Amino acid sequence: MRNQKKSSFAWRNIIESRLFFPLIALFLILLFDFIFIPGFFTIENRDGNLYGSLIDIFRNGSTVMLLAIGMTLVIATAGVDLSVGAVMAIAASMAGILMNPSALRNEVFFVTDPTYTFQPLWVVIGAALIVSLICGVWNGVLVAYMRIQPMVATLILMIAGRGIAQLITNGLRVQITYRPYAFLGQGWIILPFSLYIVAFVYAGTWLLTRKTAIGMFIESVGINFRSSFFSGIDEKKIKLLVYTFCGLCAGIAGLVASSNIRTSDANSIGLMIELDAILAVVIGGGSMAGGRFSLLASMIGALVMQAITQSMYAVGVPAFALQAIKAVVVVFVILLFSEQVRSFIRGISAQKKEV
């Protein structure tokens, strides 16, 4: 029996798999779409690129998916990062200003040339990512070394970060016209380009956490950091790593978002999006008390959120009602994953497994 590494196909394994709940949720929403929204599943092929409502879900959800990847790791260490929206804004501002620094001279000039950029693309993206890494390190140091509560520590950057973003663009909205940059959020290679970015980040993170010991250490620290300490794991370094990484993901998300709306708006980019990211992780089964995580489940959670948004739009629900509906979903999911339900399930499986 010990040689059976992959247990035989059993319903219980599916139900207890972390992907179960978010997939079911996604399935239900798509079912709803299939029944009530004609043409929701149609996929057009225009010049080799695929378009359609289904594709849109992925495209519009890519920012939250990116954030959810970083947030998953942070929450797994029993922490939280409230500053991701602000970091998005900072990265977007950095990128915007490097392509169009007119704002620094207090001018806003109308750029018509889509090939114009003040700095080459790699400098633009590189600087934005470096800035977001710095933000991540800041959070990490506050939480891991100064032992400030994660909610409080990241709250500071959440408040100050918007100010910093506006500092970078001198308070003005920077218009973005540089085509190659706009490709990040709006480009298409068969599928939307942002999807490839998400896939790349996901693949990289998966390699980093599952093909090295990092993933196991993160989970260990989140579950019981004292036992992890006794086993020789340096909790401080792990926490510093996850917050830094979350900052990086936020930076990437900021680039995609600003490329999507073609502007670096320090005020509105990523506003309140941290809450979406946290919820995506929770829908994906992540416990805010830390522990086991699944990147895929969190991304599916992000898709669930986006699918709800998209479906409501398609059905004709006005944009604003969405927030109320999101709240209902949150409540439902939280109840589903609440302690009572969890211990109920655990009780059932424990009875069968205890030797």
Partner 1 sequence: MSESNQNILEMEGISKAFPGVQALDSVNFTLRKGEIHCLVGENGAGKSTLIKVLTGVDRPEAGRMILDGKEIHTRSPQHAQTLGISTVYQEINLCPNLTVAENILLGREPQRFKSIDWAKMNADAVEILKRSLDVDIDVTKPLGIYTVAIQQMVAIARALDIASAKILILDEPTSSLDEHEVQQLFKVMRKLKENGVGIIFITHFIGQVYEISDKTTVLRNGKLIGTFDTASLPRFELIAKMIGRSLDDLDEMSKIKLESSKHIRTEALLKAKGLGHSGAISPFDLELHSGEVVGLAGLLGSGRTEIANLLFGIDKPDTGSITFAGDEVTDYSPLGSIKRGVGLCPEDRKAEGVVDDLTVRENIILAIQANNGWFKFLSVQEQYDIADKYIELLQIATPSPDQPVGNLSGGNQQKVILARWLATNPHLLILDEPTRGIDVGTKAEIQKLVLSLADEGKACVFISSELEEVLRTSHRIVVLREREKVAEFSGEVDENTIIHAIAGSEA
Partner 2 sequence: MWQRVNEFISNNRKFIPIFSTAVLALAAYGIGAYFFVGMRNPQVFFNLFRNSSWLLISGIGSTLVILTGGIDLSVSGVVALTTVASAVLLREGWNAWGVILLMLAMGMTLGAIMGSFIVYLKVQPFIATLAGMWFARGMCFFISDDAVTIDDRLFRILGKTKILIPGLTEYAAKQGNPAPYLSIPVVVAFILLIVAIYITQFTRFGRTVYAIGGNEGRNEQSARLMGLRVNRTKLLVYTFNGFCSALAGLSLALFVYSGHGLYAPGFELEVIASVVMGGTMLTGGSGYVVGTLFGVMVLAVTQALIQFIGSLSSWWTKIVIGVLTLIFIGVQTGLATRKDDRKMAQDPQELEAEKIRRRKQALVWGGFVILVLLAFIFIPKIMGGDGTETAEVVACEVPPYREEEAASLIADGAAIAYNRTAGPQCVDELFAIYPDGRIIGNDGVNKVEKQLPPVDVELLLATISEDYGWFTDDIYSTYHNPCRQCFTHYIIASYDGQQKAVTAVDGGTDMPPGYGLTLAIIRSSLPEINPAQ
Length of the chain measured in residues: 355
CB of 294 to partner 1, least distance (A): 13
Measure the CA–CA gap between 340 and 118, rounded to whole angstroms: 56
46 beta partners? 49
Cα Rg for the chain, rounded, in angstroms? Answer: 21
CB of 230 to partner 2, least distance (A): 19
Confirm or reject binding of residue 261 to partner 2 (CB under 8 A): yes
Do 78 and 289 form a contact (C-beta atoms < 8 A)? yes
Q: What angle do CA 305, 332, 62 make, to 5 degrees?
A: 10
Confirm or reject binding of residue 182 to partner 2 (CB under 8 A): no
Confirm or reject binding of residue 109 to partner 2 (CB under 8 A): yes
Of positions 69, 162, 239, 248, contacts partner 2 by CB under 8 A: 162
Nearer to partner 1, 159 or 207 (CB): 207
Measure the CA–CA gap between 231 and 220, rounded to whole angstroms: 10
Contact of residue 204 among partner 1, partner 2, none (CB under 5-8 Å per partner type):
none
CB of 339 to partner 2, least distance (A): 5
What the block records as the tokens of 303 is 């898709």
Could you give phi then psi for residue 292, rounded to 5 degrees?
Answer: -55, 140
Element (H, E) at 45: strand 44-46
Other CB atoms within 10 Å distance of the CB of residue 337: 18
Applying CB under 8 A, which residues contact partner 1?
1-5, 7, 211-214, 216-217, 219-220, 223-224, 226-234, 291-292, 350, 353-355
Q: Which parts of 53-92 interact with partner 2 (CB under 8 A)?
A: 80
Q: Give me the amino acid identity at 282.
A: V
Confirm or reject binding of residue 93 to partner 2 (CB under 8 A): no
Confirm or reject binding of residue 315 to partner 2 (CB under 8 A): no
Measure the CA–CA gap between 233 and 297, rounded to whole angstroms: 26
- Region near partner 2 per CB under 8 A, out of 2-10, 211-219, 229-237, 313-321: 313-321
CA–CA distances in Å: residue 12 to residues 74, 78, 174, 347: 29, 27, 53, 14
Measure the CA–CA gap between 188 and 130, rounded to whole angstroms: 26
CB of 43 to partner 2, least distance (A): 26
Measure the CA–CA gap between 264 and 348, rounded to whole angstroms: 51
CB of 159 to partner 2, least distance (A): 4
Contact of residue 167 among partner 1, partner 2, none (CB under 5-8 Å per partner type):
partner 2
Binding-site size for partner 2 (CB under 8 A) equals: 58
CB of 252 to partner 1, least distance (A): 22
Pairing mode, strands 49-51 and 191-192: unpaired
Contact string 114-153 vs partner 2 (x = CB under 8 A): --------------------------------xxxx-xx-
Of positions 84, 164, 201, 218, contacts partner 2 by CB under 8 A: 164
Confirm or reject binding of residue 343 to partner 2 (CB under 8 A): no
Measure the CA–CA gap between 169 and 178, rounded to whole angstroms: 17
What the block records as the tokens of 79 is 């922490």
By CB under 8 A, name the binding residues for partner 2: 80, 107-110, 112, 146-149, 151-152, 155-164, 166-167, 170-173, 175, 261, 263, 265-268, 271, 275, 278, 282, 288, 318-328, 330-331, 334-335, 338-340
